[in-house]
Amino acid sequence: MKIISPYYEILDHLDQQSLAVRIEYCGRICYKSEDRISQESALPFVAKMAEHGHNSVLEMGVVTLEVCADENAAAELFLCQPKYLHISREGNRLLITGSIRAFREMLMFHPACTIVRAVCACLNERHPYFFSTILPEGGLAAVPSITVRKVPLEDIDQLPADKLVKHRHIAVKFIVNRAVTHELVRHRAASFLQESQRYCRYSDDKFGSEVTFIKPMFWEEGSEEYTVWQETMEETERRYLRLLETSTAQAARTVLPNSCKTEIIVYANLEQWRHIFKLRCSKAAEPSMREVMIPLSEEFNGMFPILLR
């Protein structure tokens, strides 16, 4: 048995990586298969995710596009009630931010929309592995009346405050207990990928053949209550490892408690992060949540002072 303290990691280093590299890094968290990442592994991984429709993984790649189109084309787009897209408008200029999943679903459900075809043609030219299985008959071609440009991250960071909070996304990896992640996933505007107890067998060598638990903040180490908790976790681990001798991981996991360590990536725009911090740093929030959220909010405020407004 292993006991660790909770912590987090802001994944801003992924902002400089390609969409494929970002998606693979996040996707392999679910199966704890990061050891399979290589210089050539990203494209096959994301192509497989797209082919099999693993949409939650494809939410980990977000792109911002500048679209210039006339009034009729813009109206046509809004009539589609675009899901999961953040759109800002200035005259005939649209700033559209969305995940690969969002753009794929727009193409699948609204293939006749002119702007949808134009933006997906642009993305397909750059990243054909995301769209190869859902292309309409005849493929996708650029729309002459509409110009589409990918907006680089440095330009997004220079946007005025009202647009920056909508279009700037950032991911955080939390290493916490499952009670905390049960609350995190309630923020439905964000995207999530979590370590899967269904597939992870903690008896394997890569997990040290043991279960890892998060140290509870409620009791001092050595106290009577802490000793009761520790003994309970030790007994739980023994029973879990015993079940794995004759059962699948998804069956054995039914005995695992909230104290189990898990990894979860939360990916959201700054507007949603501000909302998360407002709720999860308050005095009414669950103490284990506040344990990681308060220092994280302070770090975010240093990176993006706009969140203080």
Q: Which residues are catalytic?
A: 280
69: which DSSP letter? Answer: -
Rounded-to-integer distance, Cα 218 and Cα 289, Å? 12
Rounded-to-integer distance, Cα 242 and Cα 261, Å? 19
Token representation of residue 216: 């509870």
Rounded-to-integer distance, Cα 218 and Cα 291, Å? 11
Which ranges in the chain belong to alpha helices (H)? Answer: 19-31, 42-51, 55-58, 71-79, 100-109, 114-126, 153-156, 161-167, 178-184, 224-244, 249-252, 270-280, 287-303
Rounded-to-integer distance, Cα 244 and Cα 255, Å? 11
Percent helix, strand, coil in the chain, to 5, is 50, 20, 35
